[in-house]
Structure formats: structure tokens, C-alpha cells
Amino acid sequence: MFDLSLDELREYRPEVAAPADFVAFWCRSIEKARTHDLSATFTAVDNKLAVIDTYDVTFAGFGGAPIKGWLHVPAGATGPLPTVVQYFGYSGGRGFPHTSTLWAQAGYALFQMDNRGQGYDSGGPDATPDNSAYAGLNHSPGFMTAGITDPETYYYRRVFVDAVRALDAVRTSPLVDPDKIIVTGGSQGGGIAIAAAGLAGLTGIELLGCAPDVPFLCHFQRAVQITDQDPYAEITQYLRGFRDHVDTVYRTLSYFDGVNLGRLATAPALFSVALMDPNCPPSTVFAAYNAYGTEANAGVAKNIKIYSHNEHEGGQAYQQDAQLDWFADAFGRVGQIRPTASAEATTAPSQNSTVRR
């Protein structure tokens, strides 16, 4: 345990200043993305599973670029179902359609967004490239400093806008109840979930919940100061060489910090933190947790699960068990009702879809 004591963590509320144009920047970024036709398509695929149906999803993300995803539902579901939107960790992606279907097994629709330019730890078909003109700007190896000298060009601007567009896309499926959506993810996926929850309110989307596990992308400056673990160490590597970019880099990062984005959130939250986590230090997680929802007029219900002797793996099955209960409560347990198979399920998402039998 290398960070603050638990009592100190519970009270840790650092000053992470948001830029004066913070909200305007994000409203403009999302509005610009929405000028592109969403072009969301859902095509049934053979996932080789008997109890889950899967649809290959493509939608237009930042800059109109095609972003891939999976939509999993209980076999034969006709919808609309309560829906979990899942974002993936650093270097991960949607992978194969059979690899991660827990929330669909619980009776919900599960939408998983691919990470542009990542996915090399997951493999699988049709990875999403980062084909932005900004992708080739000078940076240290990895994604943390790609385009980091300007918030307009920073890599996570594209990812966070993709995350909001994923919410736009999934809400167009007849299998999804657009009024019953929870966002979740671990590590980078947790940071993206916080961003999605914060930005949802700026874009007219109401979420039922946000469940970030051991989230990354929070309180960047604190993380760089106290850990030499990747991916935060990529920032150190960059500034070790570009010594004159320090102020510029931290100004850019302030637009993308989970502390600042989480303040905007209005959806209830279930966080998790691991007190021995060297990748996402607990003080950075608590900084985001303590700030989460603080700009909501009526306050936001939130809780955090603490794993005292774990590193970045966090709670794993223990946290999933807590989420199963929390999601069911948020959805009113309607997602636990097993749907009845019907012929309409074969064509609900797309008229030219085909379904495995």
C-alpha cells in the first residue's frame, strides 16, 4: 500500500482545474460528430453460442469514422431490453463475439464498443483502426501522448466522442430500451465510462448508471507523480524528451480528466478501487469518485467497492457479483426476465440480417 491511507482517500478532493471552455469544447466536439450520418448497422453473426445472439455493429464515430462493436442479447430476445454498454481497457477491444457475454447472460442487452487503434491484446475480427489525420503526430509509444499538444488533436478526444456516439447508435436498435442504459468498463474502460456519463448530460442522453472499475484516465498529474507504471509512464517518457511541453501537456489532459468529466455526471455510480494498484493509484480513483456528480443540483447516489489487498486486477468476480445486484436494482430487475423466442428476433436489428440456428 503505497498511497494515502483509506481515511485520507475518502476525503481526497484535489483541485483539478477544468479549462474555461471545458463544456464548450465537449459540446462542440459532439455536435460536430453528430453532423455525420450515424449509419448504425446491426448484422447477425454466428457466435457459436447456444444461449446468446450476437450482432456485428458498425456506426460513425468521431470524424464519421466507422467504429465496430458487438450487440449481445439472450437468444431469441425481441426487446426492448435494459442495456449495458461496455468499454474496454487499454490495448483491448471487442475481440471475438464469444469472449465476453456476462451481462447478456444476466438477461440484458450488452453493447461493446471497440477501441479505435487498439485491440492488440484481444485479437478477433475486424478491429477498428484510428484513421484520423492526427494519429501520426509525434508521441511516445502507446496512446497516452498521441496528439497531446492540443486538445483538438488528442487521441482521447476521438475515443470519448466515439463513446457518446456508441450511446447514440445502441439506442437505435429495437432490441434496446433507450431509457434503461448503464455504462461500465474496467481500467481505461472505466475512464471511458466516466467520460460517457459526464458527457451524456450534455447531449440529451439520460443514463440509469455508471459502473467504472479501477478506472484509468483520472487525475493525470497525481498519477505521473506517484507511479512509474504504464500507461501513465508514457507521459513521463514524452516529457523526458519534450522538456518544454509540460504546461501544454497538462493543460490538454485537463480536458480529458475523469475528475472534471465525472463532475458533470447525473447517473448513479458504482466504482471500485484496489488499494495496492500501481497502474491506477487509489488516490486517482478516489479523486474521480469524490468529484463524481458534484455539479448535479440534487446530488448523485454513488458507492465504491474497496479491495484492500489487490493490484490492478481489482475485485474481478467479486466486483461482477456486486454489479449483478446493482444492475438488477437499477433496471428494476426486469432484465432478469427471460425473453420468449420468436420469429421477429431474426430480423429485429436489420432486415437483411441472418441468425444462427
Measure the CA–CA gap between 192 and 217, rounded to whole angstroms.
Answer: 8
Kindly name the residue from 91, 122, 132, 187 that is annotated as catalytic: 187
Known catalytic residue: 36?
no
Predicted confidence (pLDDT) per residue in 15-60, tens digit: 999 999 999 999 999 999 999 999 999 999 999 999 999 999 999 9
**Amino acid 337: pLDDT:** 44
Q: Where are the alpha helices (DSSP H) in the chain?
A: 6-10, 22-33, 102-105, 155-170, 188-200, 220-226, 233-241, 246-254, 258-263, 282-291, 317-330
CATH number for region 6-336: 3.40.50.1820
Q: Would you place residue 296 in the very low, low, confident or very high pLDDT band (cuts 50, 70, 90)?
A: confident
CB 236, CB 224: distance < 8 Å: yes
Closest CA to 60 of 158, 147, 150, 204: 158
User: Taking the chain, what is the end-to-end CA distance rounded to the nearest angstrom?
Assistant: 51
CA distance 113 to 176: 15
Residue 340 has pLDDT above 60, yes or no: no
Please tell me which residue in 3, 53, 56, 277 is annotated as part of the active site. 277
Confidence of residue 137 (pLDDT cuts 50, 70, 90): confident
Residue 187 among the catalytic residues: yes
Q: Name residue, grid cell 447478456.
A: 104
Indicate if 277 belongs to the active site: yes
In the chain, what are the domain boundaries?
Answer: 6-336
- Kindly name the residue from 98, 230, 312, 350 that is annotated as catalytic: 312
**pLDDT above 50 for 335:** no
- The whole-angstrom separation of Cα 159 and Cα 115 is 7
pTM (two decimals):
0.92
Q: Rounded mean pLDDT of the chain?
A: 92
Q: State the angle between helix axes of 188-200 and 155-170 in degrees (0 to 180), rounded to the nearest 10.
A: 60
Burial 230-262 (b: 16+ CB within 10 A, else e): bbbbbbbbbbeebeeeeeebbebbbbbbbbbbb
